[in-house]
Amino acid sequence: MQRRGLPIPLSIAFIVSIALTACGLAPEYSRPTVDGLAGYKEEGPWRLATGELREPEKWWRVFADPALDALVEQLIVDNQNVKLAEAQYKAAHAALNSARAGLFPTLGASAAASRSGSGTAASGSAASTSTVSTAYTLSAQAAWEIDLWGRVRGGVDAAGAKLQASEGVVGAVRLSAVALLAQSYFQLRAADAQQRLLTRTLAAYQRFLELTRNRRDAGVASSLDVAQAETQLNATRGQLADVQLLRAQTEHAIATLIGQPPSALSIPEARDAAALPPVPPAPTLVPAVALESRYDIYSAERQMAAANAQIGVARAAYFPALDLSADGGYRRSQLANLLSAPARFWSLGPTLALTLFDGGARSAAVSQAEAVYEQAVASYRQTVLTAFQEIEDNLVATRRLAEESASQQAALVAAGKARAIAENQYRAGTANALNVIAAQASELNAESAVIAIWSKNMVAAVQLYKNLGGRRINASPGNSK
């Protein structure tokens, strides 16, 4: 038995004509602009650069710290947030492959065997007969949705844009994790410097306490002087314990960032008096186009493109769906003669289906898709504005912290001179212990402030590299491309 649909040549011609006239219903996509972003507000040694940026580099190597380099390499491999983002990227890639599958026909095959019986009674007679029949079927099926209105292609475009957005998320998560690691590492080194300072200060305070006790025993100092020296010594011990706590917690945080339990990581304390590395100089070129290559902005823009494509998918539901199906094979009551010409059957034909009434579901779906696109646009523009704010913040931080560091270094030198003068006067008996304690505390605070400003400088430098998308901007205009 044969079931006939459209003749094969006519069906093929019909499909080709439909494919040639297929169209998409998504709005024409263009990236929204954000006004007023032609330059930077903050002044400094930098100027705008033009041209394309290079690919992201291992920007953390500008700090020239092998220990930091080793930690970053381990983070890139073992950080769990990075692994999560990479798994989400794989899922987005699979979703794209699934959407692309809709562009192709589906093929299937089946084999079946059945045995059935029925009973009949002759007219006017109580006698009955039964008929038993056997059927064997071997067939193949094919189905294909003709993408007349771009519904399938819109889904592919949306999935592709989401995959690109997911790729941007992976880069943004990795960059954020590396920046956080670098900041934590420099805070740990600042804690090391504070420990060295407080340990050295404790030794000086202990000597001063012994001197004061000796002077009291000689009758040239009072018990009040001794009590004040003891107070200063013990207060400084408390500061040292607080810094040691901060260092331990920072080390634990670094271990978590590189995917290790805190017990598995031990970063040796930097005991060199000159262990603090210099702050990298501010970039002389800060490209405005750096924003276009930031991972978060790229991801937000791709989310916009995906939302725009989904509008076309929602609009396509207003139009009929065209499916082409084909079925063919063999059917016979005897298995021995199944693969014979009389047992063949086939059918081929299109199906056009249109929803006439859905209670406003399609209209609501289109409105929802348009609202999602508006959300994506607002998110993109906010991401761009936030990016400019971050760059402006760290440009001004780079400049102002450099000025603050120079002033604080001068203050430290002056505080050291004042402390030395006060100690000499105390030994000569022309100054009391309170003057010495005040001068010593002033010098300690000044040197502690130098370390704190260095830490803030390093954090600002790391943040600026992060804001520039993990790119090292050189001083030469020719290297900005």
Position 459 in a domain: yes
Position 127 in a domain: no
Q: In which residue are the tokens 């006698």 written?
A: 127
In terms of Cα–Cα distance, which of 417, 400, 412 is closest to 457? Answer: 400
Which class for 379: exposed (0-12), middle (13-18), buried (19 or more C-beta within 10 A)? Answer: middle
Position 133 in a domain: no
Position 304 in a domain: yes
Phi, psi of 114 (to 5 degrees): -140, 155
Tens-digit pLDDT profile for residues 260-286: 999 999 999 877 655 678 888 766 555
Phi, psi of 301 (to 5 degrees): -65, -40
In terms of Cα–Cα distance, which of 52, 102, 85, 81 is closest to 165? Answer: 85
Q: 174: alpha, beta or left, given left = phi > 0 and alpha = psi -120 to 50? A: alpha
The CATH number linked to 337 is 1.20.1600.10
Tens-digit pLDDT profile for residues 199-238: 989 999 999 999 899 989 988 888 998 999 999 999 999 9
For 199-343, strand residue ranges (E) read: 321-332
Lowest-confidence region among 38-52, 199-213, 322-336: 38-52
C-alpha span between 208 and 230 (Å, rounded): 9
Average pLDDT score, the chain: 83
Position 128 in a domain: no
Position 112 in a domain: no
Position 233 in a domain: yes
Number of domains comprising the chain: 1
> Could you tell me the residue range of the domain that residue 222 belongs to?
8-105+139-480
Position 2 in a domain: no
Q: Is the pLDDT of residue 470 over 50?
A: yes
